[in-house]
Structure 1
Amino acid sequence: MSYITKKIDNNEVHFSTENFVSRYWLSLKFRGKRIHEINVTKLLLDNLEPSTCFVDIGAHIGYYTIIASNKLAKGEVISFELDKTNYNILNKNIALNSCSNVTAHNIAITNYVGNSSYSTSAILTSAMCYLTDTKNDKKVGKTVETITLDEFFKDDYSKPDVIKIDVEGSEMNVLNGMEKILDRKKSLTMFVEVHPTLLKRKFNSSSKEVIEKLIEKGFIVQQIMNIRGKKEDLHFKEIDSDSKLGYNTILFVKK
């Protein structure tokens, strides 16, 4: 198997380059000595305790899944990826790194249990995948099984400790499908990538709605600045219900 190796948090991690999708993505994210989203990477790792349960929603090819797995000596990683191509690469990367504490699912997390169609980039399939806002419509694009996070964790709502959400505009659907987790967890850390344009265009929602939901549930919300910078420079901007996000933003959300 062909792959590249990067050193992240003093661990060597490997990513498959057998597929064009992964080669293209990795060439952009790891150009030279660059570490993908270096400030988010550092903050995530700093918030993982050895026994943490990390949930990766929108795992793509597994970057955050793999680095979290390496950090969690006694914990576990549960990953969800809706696109089959990405999911297959994700599993290759899990095997390549011998991540025995990872469970991956080819399922979309949203606000209902069933099936959904989803769309991919016309130029580079699997680079940007998002659910359509139509339940059980098998005529549009590809289809995927859907579930809510509450339903998935119905036997133990307290299980997730750290959650990463990157769902290309479906943020509100994910949050609305995890009400019991949001209400019952006394301590929860989330990394929520907010896509204002897709929220509005695809889901008739907004970044304001996402922020208000999080604040209503008792979270402190901060914007991680310089998320795609080349050098480590971690700092935050406080976010409140009047804040406006005009571009893709990763929120650090904690209670």
Structure 2
Amino acid sequence: MSHNPGPETEPTTKLRVQSFIERATRLWEDLRYKQHRLRSDTYRVAVGEAEADLYALSKSEYLDFARLPERGILEELLSDLRPDDIFYDLGANLGLYACLAADVLDTTIVAFEPHPKNADRLARNAELNGSKVAVHRVALAASSGSAQMKLSPGFGPDNLGSAGHTLLTEYYEEESESVPVTKLRGDEFVAEERAPPPTALKIDVEGTEMDVLQGLDSTLSRPECRLVYCEVHEDRLDSQGYSVSDVSDFLASRGFSVERRSIDGYQSFIRAEKV
């Protein structure tokens, strides 16, 4: 006797539909990427009045630029910048923020990226756009010296991109690869006059926010240092005994008016401004 399983339940139907949509989306994105690579090895990112051409030599790079999940943050940051700002980009990665900022500023962008391959691509992207970007292959921190940068799971030293690389060596499993990098105290960088003191900073350092801020204590206390956009990684801060409130309180005690934001559900960040 045959058995009639009966109609599928509503949750099962929803799962099947969701799975179908995900597969179709992946196929569509594969097709878009392959079509794009036939035409160009770069991708033009436009945010407001700013534009930048960026090398997109892998599907993940292409999708990062095409989807641009941080568009809302970029729009707000770029609109806050003034033409004469000295902009420091900490955790510059492949140069998305640096190259877009260079398109709206009259000054040289000061970009910090310790990962060797990412720094190479950052320099290439700046050259591609004719952007005034000074690339410093160091990680700003509370103390100077050498360190190991733990790479996101599945990444090797030759892989580019990824927003997950961190100096928190205990954060990922032991089998995650790492690369040696150089740390430099931020106030020391400024004191040595390697670049003019910043008036605006973007900080995306994957959990070492407090370490970076402590190293920039004197710099952030300067009256002309007026604007900070800092991504905050709550779980990584917590692993060191810090909280997002500690980041906010640190900036507030240096004269900033602080607000915590999240645009379109993307990574939380702190916007701090002296008014």
TM-score of Structure 1 vs Structure 2, range by shorter chain: 0.7 to 0.9
Matching residue of 1:220: 257
Matching residue of 2:152: 121
2:104 maps to 1:76: no
Equivalent AA in structure 2 for residue 188 of structure 1: R
Q: 1:6 to 1:183 in 2, by over 3 A?
A: closer
Equivalent AA in structure 2 for residue 15 of structure 1: L
Deviation at 1:186, TM superposition (A): 4.5
Alignment map for 1:65-144 (pairs within 5 Å): 65-72=98-105, 74-99=106-131, 101-125=132-156, 126-127=161-162, 128-132=164-168, 141-144=178-181
List per-residue Cα deviations over 1:173-200 (Å, max 9, x = no partner). 0000011112223441000000010112
List per-residue Cα deviations over 1:84-129 (Å, max 9, x = no partner). 1211211121111111x21011111111011111101122454111
Task: Choose between structure 1 and 2: higher helix proportion.
Answer: 2
Matching residue of 1:195: 233
- Structure 1: how far apart are the matches of 2:55 and 2:113? 17
Please give the TM-score of this superposition, normalised by the length of structure 1: 0.80
Structure 2's unaligned 5+ residue stretches are 1-39, 171-176
Is the Cα–Cα contact under 8 Å of residues 38 and 228 in structure 1 kept in the other structure? no
Deviation at 1:48, TM superposition (A): 1.6
Is the Cα–Cα contact under 8 Å of residues 199 and 224 in structure 2 kept in the other structure? no
Matching residue of 2:46: 7
Q: Any idea what SS the aligned residue of 1:86 has?
A: helix
Moved more, 170-179 or 208-217: 208-217
List per-residue Cα deviations over 1:118-173 (Å, max 9, x = no partner). 10112245411111369xxxxx8321111011011105697201100000000000
Deviation at 1:206, TM superposition (A): 2.0
Equivalent AA in structure 1 for residue 243 of structure 2: S
- Structure 2: how far apart are the matches of 1:75 and 1:62? 16
Q: 1:108 to 1:161 in 2, by over 3 A?
A: same
Structure 1's unaligned 5+ residue stretches are 135-139, 230-247
Find the partner of 1:25 among 55, 58, 61: 61
Please give the TM-score of this superposition, normalised by the length of structure 2: 0.74
Find the partner of 2:243 among 197, 202, 206: 206
Task: Choose between structure 1 and 2: higher strand proportion.
Answer: 1
Equivalent AA in structure 1 for residue 101 of structure 2: A
Instruction: Could you list the structure 1 runs, at least 4 aligned residues long, displaced by more than 6 angstroms after superposition.
Output: none
Matching residue of 1:159: 197
Q: Which has the larger radius of gyration?
A: 2
List per-residue Cα deviations over 1:209-249 (Å, max 9, x = no partner). 212211222211112332557xxxxxxxxxxxxxxxxxx41
- Structure 2: how far apart are the matches of 1:216 and 1:68? 27
By relative contact order (CA 8 Å, sep 6+), the higher-ranking structure is: 1
Deviation at 1:76, TM superposition (A): 1.6
2:260 maps to 1:249: no
Q: Any idea what SS the aligned residue of 2:60 has?
A: helix
Find the partner of 1:146 among 183, 192, 195: 183
Is the Cα–Cα contact under 8 Å of residues 158 and 184 in structure 1 kept in the other structure? no
Q: Between Structure 1 and Structure 2, how many residues are aligned?
A: 223
